[in-house]
Each structure stands twice: as C-alpha cells, then as structure tokens.
C-alpha cells in the first residue's frame, strides 16, 4: 500500500492551474511514474480531455490519451500510477461517483478543489466512500 505520493511542485501546480482554468468543468489527466511499495513517485503529468457526458460533475479521460499514455509509459519503463481530476463545486475528497468508478485497486486518485490537492489510493475497503484511503502528498524537488 502506498503511504506517500511524491510529486514535483511544478507538476502539482500545473494540475491546480488546470482545475482553476475552467472552474465549471472537471479537469482530468494521468499520473505517470513508478511505485516502490510505500512510495509512489510521479514523473510526468499528462492532461486529457474530459469526455464525460456531464463534465460539470464527472470525468472520463479521453480514450486516445489513455491508450497512448499507457503505451509511452511502458516504453519508458514507467507506468500509469493513477489519475487526477477536479471537483469544481466540491471538496478535494473522493465522491460516491469516484468510488463507483474506482475499478483498479492500488491506483492513486489526486483530487483538486478550491486550490487544494489531496491524494488517495483506491483500496478494497477504505474510510472514504468505502473505497479510498488517504496518502500523504509530498511535493519534492
């Protein structure tokens, strides 16, 4: 299980800026890096278009970006370790809708709302919406 998510401040700032750029729609994208037991390191952030039927309240990562990012990450010896999205009218915590779509255990969900980012790992049973546990967010240089 992940205990900490390491991410460079500029990458984290780019995610928060994407959320602020259109406060009426959920922004979304992929987190690429590597996990080593308790620490997950984000090396790249890949923004994606939100293809949800109602992007004001949900996110669905653009399929072409999702496939290409998985392929590119594998070729670089990395992996898609999770994704990020915003909650325009909410808080930076997983929602019931997020829990419904948390199909892959062990993935990181970085959620941004009101200028704040928080990280969660999808687990079988967790304290947040029954599907997530919080992971320490550690901006690194």
Q: Which residues are catalytic?
A: 26
Strand, coil or helix: 62: coil
Q: What separation, in Å, do the N-terminal and C-terminal C-alpha atoms of the chain show? A: 23
Whole-angstrom distance, CA of residue 92 vs CA of residue 19: 11
Task: For residue 93, list its beta bridge partners.
Answer: none
Interatomic CA distance for residues 43 and 22, integer angstroms:
25
């Amino acid at each position: 299980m992940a205990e900490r998510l390491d991410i460079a401040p500029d990458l984290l700032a780019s995610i928060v800026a994407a959320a602020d750029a259109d406060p009426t729609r959920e922004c979304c994208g992929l987190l690429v890096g590597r996990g080593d037991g308790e620490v997950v390191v984000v090396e790249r952030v890949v923004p994606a278009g939100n293809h949800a039927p109602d992007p004001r309240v949900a996110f669905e990562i653009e399929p072409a970006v999702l496939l290409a990012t998985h392929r590119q990450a594998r070729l670089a010896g990395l992996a898609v370790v999770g994704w990020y999205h915003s909650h325009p009218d909410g808080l930076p915590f997983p929602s019931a809708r997020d829990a419904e779509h948390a199909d892959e255990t062990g993935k990181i969900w970085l959620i941004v709302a009101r200028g704040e980012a928080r990280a969660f790992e999808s687990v079988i049973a967790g304290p947040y919406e029954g599907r997530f546990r919080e992971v320490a967010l550690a901006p690194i240089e």
